[in-house]
A = this chain, B = another copy of it.
C-alpha cells in the first residue's frame, strides 16, 4: 500500500509537514524513471525538477492549491523544456511554452514529472500504437492499458503521480481509466483549453483529467477548467456547473438514469463484463435510482460517423504536410487510418455533419428526460497480443460506448465498477449533456463510495469524501436555474 496516492491526501501530508515536496518529488521522479510499463516517453531532468521546486519555495498548500502535486502529461500536450512527440519521433518538436492548461496547473503548484506514451497522434483506444512500445496494464502487463491516453492512465493507476492530463476525441480519456481502475473525466468540450495540444479532430478534442477520486477531480477542474480566450473552441463555464455544484452525498436516490436496452448492450463475448454491468444496475436500483431503458441506436449510429465518416479527415488535416511528405514515418495502423481521409470530399463532410445534427436532435431528446445515462465504459478488454493481431476491429469494439460523446457534445465520467474474472478492471461511465460536469462528478463520487474499491492498482483504500457544506437538494438535482425575466 502506498501513501498519498490522491491529490488531497498529498496536500494534507505537505500541510502538516509530514512530507516535503523536494523529497517526495525526487522519490516520485526516481520511480518514474525506473518504470517498466512503457508509460513514459520522457521525464523531466533533475535541473527541471529543481526549477519547479524553487517556484514552490515560500509557498504551501494554503496559497497554492496544487502545491507540490506531481502529475503526468500526455505527450501530445506541450510542456516547455520537453519535446512534444505525439508518439512519433519524426514529428517531434520543442514547444516554446506550456500548453495553457499545463501552465495553469504549474502556476497552481503542480509539478509535471514528464510526458506519457500514447497511441500515436491520439488515434486509438488501445495503447499499443506507439514506437515507445505498448503501455502495459497496471493490473497485468499482458493486457492493454487502453488508449490513446495509455501512459497518463497508468502513471496514475500505479501511483507514480496523483493525477494526469489525457485527451479524449473518441474515448481516450475514459477507456484507459476503465482498464486501470481509476477515474477519467471528459469534461464538456471547450471547458479545458486545448491551446498547446497537437489536434486529433479540432472540432471534437478535449483535454481530460485522470485521478483517483471525484474530490480530486473537482479540485483539479477549478484550475484546469479556466477559460482560455486564445482557444477559439473554448467555452465559458456556466454558473450551475461551478465547483460548489459538486455534491456527491445523495444524488443517486430518485435520480432518473438512462440505460441502453439490454439487447443493445455489447460485451463482445465477455460474460464477466456483462455480469459486472448488470450488477452495477442492480446496485443503482438498490439506491432507489429510477433506471429508464433508452434506445441506444442513435448514439451508436452517431458513433460510427467518427471513423467511418469524414471526421477522419480532421485527423489527416492536423498533420497533412507531415503525412504527405512521407506517411511511412507513421505507425502502420495510424497510416492506414489516416489514408482513410483520401477521397473524402467536402460534400461528404457536410452530408455527415447533417446526419450528425439529426442524431444530435434525437439523442438530446432522450437525454432531456434523464438526469444522466449510464453505460459500460468499454464492453471488454484484450491482451496486447490479441490486439496486435487484429488492431482495427478490436479497437472498434472498445469504442462502442465512447465514440458518440464528443460528436454529440456530451460530458462523461468513467468510474471503476468491479474486477473481471480475468483480474482486470471493469468500469462504467455516467454521461450527461454539456455543462453537467459537476453533476457527473457528484454521481461518480457517490458511486465510488458505494463500490469502495481500492485506488487504481495501488491497493490504497478509498478515502471518505471530504466533508462539505450541505446545499439545498432541489437546485442540485435538476441542474436548472430559475430565470426571472424583467420587463
Q: Which residues of A contact B (CB under 8 A)?
A: 201-203, 232-233, 239-240, 244-245, 310, 313-314, 316-317, 320, 341, 344-351, 353-354, 357-358, 360-361, 471-472, 474-476, 481-487
Q: Contact at A313–B360, with CB atoms within 8 Å?
A: no
Pairs across A and B, CB under 8 Å, 25 listed: A201-B350, A202-B350, A202-B354, A203-B350, A232-B358, A233-B357, A239-B485, A313-B345, A313-B346, A313-B349, A316-B347, A317-B350, A317-B351, A320-B347, A341-B346, A344-B345, A346-B346, A471-B487, A472-B486, A481-B483, A481-B484, A481-B485, A481-B486, A482-B484, A482-B486
Asked, given contacts A482-B484, A483-B483, whether A203 binds B316 with beta carbons under 8 Å apart, the answer is no
Give the docked Cα–Cα distance between A10 and B346 (Å): 48
Q: Name the B residues within 8 Å of A487 (CB-CB).
A: 244-245, 471-472, 474-476
Q: Name A350's contact: one of B314, B471, B482 (CB within 8 Å).
A: B314
Q: Name A475's contact: one of B203, B475, B485 (CB within 8 Å).
A: B485
Chain A residues touching B, majority SS:
helix
How far apart are A445's CB and chain B's nearest CB, in angstroms? 17
Asked, given contacts A345-B346, A347-B317, A350-B203, whether A360 binds B232 with beta carbons under 8 Å apart, the answer is yes
Smallest CB gap from A362: residue in B: B232
Closest 7 CB pairs of A and B: A475-B487, A313-B346, A344-B346, A310-B346, A475-B486, A349-B349, A317-B347
Give the docked Cα–Cα distance between A358 and B233 (Å): 8
Q: Name the B residues within 8 Å of A344 (CB-CB).
A: 345-347
Give the docked Cα–Cα distance between A316 and B487 (Å): 46
Q: Contact at A357–B486, with CB atoms within 8 Å?
A: no
Give the docked Cα–Cα distance between A476 and B481 (Å): 22
Q: Name the B residues within 8 Å of A310 (CB-CB).
A: 346, 349-350
How far apart are A487's CB and chain B's nearest CB, in angstroms? 3
How far apart are A480's CB and chain B's nearest CB, in angstroms? 8
Q: Contact at B481–A347, with CB atoms within 8 Å?
A: no
Q: Name the B residues within 8 Å of A244 (CB-CB).
A: 487
Q: Name the B residues within 8 Å of A232 (CB-CB).
A: 354, 357-358, 360-361
Q: Name the B residues within 8 Å of A313 (CB-CB).
A: 345-347, 349-350
Give the docked Cα–Cα distance between A240 and B485 (Å): 7
- Which of A474, A475, A485 is packed against the most chain B CB atoms within 10 Å? A485
Q: Name the B residues within 8 Å of A346 (CB-CB).
A: 310, 313, 341, 344-346, 348-349
How far apart are A336's CB and chain B's nearest CB, in angstroms? 17
In addition to A313-B350, A475-B487, 7 A-B residue pairs with Cβ atoms within 8 Å of each other are: A202-B350, A313-B349, A317-B350, A341-B346, A472-B486, A481-B485, A483-B484
- Which of A240, A344, A487 is packed against the most chain B CB atoms within 10 Å? A487
Give the docked Cα–Cα distance between A484 and B233 (Å): 27
Give the docked Cα–Cα distance between A466 and B82 (Å): 69
Q: Name the B residues within 8 Å of A239 (CB-CB).
A: 483, 485
How far apart are A69's CB and chain B's nearest CB, in angstroms? 29
Give the docked Cα–Cα distance between A202 and B245 (Å): 38
Q: Name the B residues within 8 Å of A203 (CB-CB).
A: 350, 353-354
Smallest CB gap from A360: residue in B: B232
